């Protein structure tokens, strides 16, 4: 089945499809750590060749778990360390683009023929993109009609829908009916940085893709028709997507992440960030240890905040589209926090599961436990590697 997440940003020096790839690497440059996954194709199977993660904090004199950003030269040396450590050998790669330097949006547009829409979309996009349109790469796609919220507008009511006032569309027949268009934009600066990085590492990037799409590929099946909420609990923020029938319907960033949990532990227990990070990973909200109450008072409000916000987005979605969200999937290193899924269940009132994206790859059975635990952190990198091998 065609992968609905594959369309976005096929920006590549070597376009996909030209040369079949046998082994490829997905590279996810997260705010607190870089993740790589090398996958090979053996007959019709995707096989995990190697994977690795490197915390970036120490490269900026910060602790493990802390966020840091770097210029191209520093990044070359960090990723090169990681490649060595993980034993990466393939040179065909793909990079994820952080959601914070991109934009995913569903906008309402007049129901125009595709050519007219192609003219109208960049004009509409200007309203939402806070930088000059020339500084971004834009991609878009009309969402399937049957899944739009106006699909059920009763006959006679359609005329009441707002008409476009866009002067550039003057002379074009603008029907009252609207459609939804998925809009995605990447800042060119980020692509330029990763291109430099690739040059320095002597690797060949085949494409750049907003991290959201990579994650969805590795954790949601396109045949999954019911709406699913995917919640990526990263270090600096929590990224939430509602996907339905293989299409992104909402992308939302919640401004708190797992490093805020570490910060709160550090403050309440008067320990440095590194120690707090250790405590967080070991105990979380497990209610073990002498400091369980203090820990709970520090950590719970942040996790509650994240899932209360997530719930607000889900409720809005359900109200707008009149369809229940079926379940929530947690990804990102923050999903490993002990006790976090319980709070998610309470706040969201949904079936909640931690994603296990390594499941999609063949690997030795003896590694299954380790891979299950590591899985949530590698969702982005796995999604990239999958597209590299499946689209080629
Ligand atoms: N076992 C664990 N228990 C609790 N938290 C954990 C665990 N392992 C990792 N984390 C936390 O997960 C976060 C890192 O997750 P992830 O690698 O998904 O983030 P990132 O990709 O670097 O950040 P972002 O997506 O915001 O750019 C860190 O804050 C780290 O402390
Ligand atoms: Mg991340």
Query: Does the residue 95 lie in any domain?
Result: no
**Would you state the pLDDT for residue 279?**
96
> Residue 333: CB within 6 Å of ligand 1?
yes
Parallel/antiparallel/unpaired status of strands 327-331 and 228-233: parallel
Ligand 1 closest atom vs CA 236: 26
From 234, 284, 341, 357, mutation site for ligand 1 pocket: most ligand atoms within 8 A of C-beta: 234
Which of 308, 304, 215, 210 lies closest to 260, judged by CA?
Answer: 304
User: Is residue 235 one of the residues assigned to a domain?
Assistant: no
Confidence at residue 314, expressed as pLDDT on a 0 to 100 scale: 98
363 has pLDDT over 90: yes
In a domain, 137, yes or no: yes
Which region, left, alpha or beta, applies to residue 245 given φ > 0 means left and ψ of -120 to 50 means alpha? left
Q: Is the pLDDT of residue 149 over 80?
A: no
Tell the residue nearest (CA) to atom 20 of ligand 1: 30
Locate the DSSP E strands across 283-381.
327-331, 351-354
Is 223:1 a contact under the CB 8 Å cutoff? yes
Ranking 130-139, 202-211, 346-355, 381-390 by mean pLDDT, the lowest is 130-139
What are phi and psi for residue 57, nearest 5 degrees? -45, -55
Ligand 1 geometric centre to CA of 377 (Å): 7
In a domain, 229, yes or no: no
Q: Is residue 340 part of a domain?
A: no
Range of the domain at 132: 102-185
pLDDT of residue 162: 39
CA distances from 64 to 34, 57, 296 (A): 12, 5, 22
Instruction: Give the distance (Å) from ligand 1 centre to CA of residue 259.
Output: 7
Q: Which atom of ligand 1 is nearest to the CA of 334?
A: 12
Q: 49 in a domain, yes or no?
A: no
Ligand 1 pocket test: pick from 63, 75, 235 the residue with the most ligand atoms within 8 Å of its Cβ. 235
Q: Which residue has the tokens 């290193």?
A: 333
User: At residue 314, what are phi and psi to the nearest 5 degrees?
Assistant: -65, -45
pLDDT, residue 144, reads 82
CATH code, 112: 3.30.1490.300
Ligand 1 neighbourhood includes 257 CB (under 6 angstroms): yes
pLDDT above 90: residue 289? no
What is the spatial distance between Cα 232 and Cα 241, in angstroms, rounded to a whole number? 8
pLDDT number for residue 119: 93
User: Would the pLDDT of 175 be above 70?
Assistant: no
Domain count, the chain: 1
13 token code pair: 């020096």
Residues 6+ positions from 217 with CB-CB distance below 8 Å: 3, 5, 6, 383, 386, 387
Of the given ranges (6-20, 70-84, 150-164, 241-255), which has the lowest mean pLDDT?
Answer: 150-164
> Is residue 42 included in any domain, yes or no?
no
Weakest mean pLDDT among 14-18, 297-301, 315-319: 14-18
Find all residues with CB under 8 Å of 36, minimum gap 6, and list them.
Answer: 25, 26, 27, 28, 51, 52, 53, 79, 82, 83, 86, 88, 381
Q: What are phi and psi of 175, to 5 degrees?
A: -70, 160
Residue 191 forms part of a structural domain? no
Does 30 sit in the ligand 1 pocket, CB within 6 Å? yes
In the three-class reduction of DSSP (H, G, I as helix; E, B as strand; rest coil), residue 163 is classed as coil
The verdict on the CB of residue 65 being under 6 Å from ligand 1 is yes
* pLDDT of 167 over the 90 cut: no
Q: Is 383:213 a contact under the CB 8 Å cutoff?
A: yes
| Count of Cβ atoms closer than 10 Å to residue 61 Cβ | 8
281 CA distance to ligand 1 middle (Å): 10
Q: Whose CA is nearest to atom 10 of ligand 1?
A: 333
Q: What is the mean pLDDT of residues 65-75?
A: 96
Cβ of residue 284 lying under 6 Å from some atom of ligand 1: yes
How far apart CA 42 and CA 152 sit, in angstroms, is 47
Read off the tokens for 389: 């091998």
Per-residue pLDDT tens over the stretch 202-226:
999 999 999 999 999 999 987 888 9
Mutating to test ligand 1, I would choose from 334, 354, 373, 376 the residue with most ligand atoms within 8 A of its C-beta, which is: 334
pTM of the model: 0.90
| pLDDT above 70 for 165 | no
pLDDT averaged over every residue in the chain: 88
CA distance 80 to 190: 19
- Ligand 1 pocket test: which of 333, 341, 344 has the largest number of ligand atoms within 8 Å of its C-beta? 333
Integer Cα distance of 206 and 64 in angstroms:
30
The closest residue, in CA terms, to atom 21 on ligand 1 is: 30
**Rounded distance between C-alpha atoms, residue 62 and residue 375, angstroms:** 25
Q: Above 90 in pLDDT, residue 108?
A: yes
């Amino acid at each position: 089945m065609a992968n609905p997440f594959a369309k976005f940003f096929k920006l590549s020096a070597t376009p996909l499809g030209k040369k079949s790839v046998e082994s490829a690497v997905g590279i996810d440059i997260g705010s607190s750590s870089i993740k790589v996954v090398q996958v090979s194709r053996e007959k019709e199977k995707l096989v995990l060749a190697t994977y690795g993660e490197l915390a970036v904090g120490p490269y900026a004199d910060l602790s493990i778990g802390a966020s840091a950003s770097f210029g191209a030269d520093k990044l070359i040396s960090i990723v090169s360390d990681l490649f060595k450590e993980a034993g990466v050998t393939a040179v065909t790669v793909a990079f994820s683009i952080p959601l914070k330097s991109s934009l995913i949006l569903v906008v309402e547009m007049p129901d125009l023929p595709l050519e007219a829409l192609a003219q109208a979309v960049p004009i509409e996009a200007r309203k939402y993109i806070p930088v000059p349109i020339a500084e971004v790469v834009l991609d878009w796609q009309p969402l399937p009609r049957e899944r739009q919220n106006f699909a059920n507008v009763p006959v006679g009511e359609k005329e009441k829908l707002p008409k476009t006032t866009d002067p550039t569309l003057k002379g074009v027949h603008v029907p009252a009916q609207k459609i939804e268009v998925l809009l995605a934009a990447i800042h060119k600066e980020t692509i330029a940085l990763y291109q430099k990085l690739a040059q320095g590492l002597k690797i060949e990037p085949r494409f750049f893709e907003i991290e959201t799409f990579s994650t969805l590929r590795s954790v949601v099946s396109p045949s999954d028709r019911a709406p699913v909420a995917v919640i990526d609990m990263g270090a600096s923020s929590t990224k939430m997507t509602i996907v339905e029938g293989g299409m992104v319907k909402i992308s939302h960033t919640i401004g708190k992440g797992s490093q805020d949990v570490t910060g709160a532990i550090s403050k309440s227990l008067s320990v440095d960030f590194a120690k707090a990070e250790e405590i967080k990973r070991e105990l979380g909200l497990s209610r073990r240890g002498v400091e369980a109450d203090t820990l709970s008072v520090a950590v719970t409000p942040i996790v509650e905040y994240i899932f209360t916000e997530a719930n607000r987005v889900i409720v809005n979605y359900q109200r707008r589209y009149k369809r229940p969200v079926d379940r929530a999937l947690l990804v990102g290193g923050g999903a490993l926090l002990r006790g976090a899924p319980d709070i998610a269940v309470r706040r969201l009132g949904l079936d909640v599961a931690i994603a296990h994206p390594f499941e999609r790859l063949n690997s030795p059975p003896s590694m299954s436990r380790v891979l299950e635990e590591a899985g949530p952190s590698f969702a982005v990198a796995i999604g990239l590697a999958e597209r590299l091998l499946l689209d080629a």
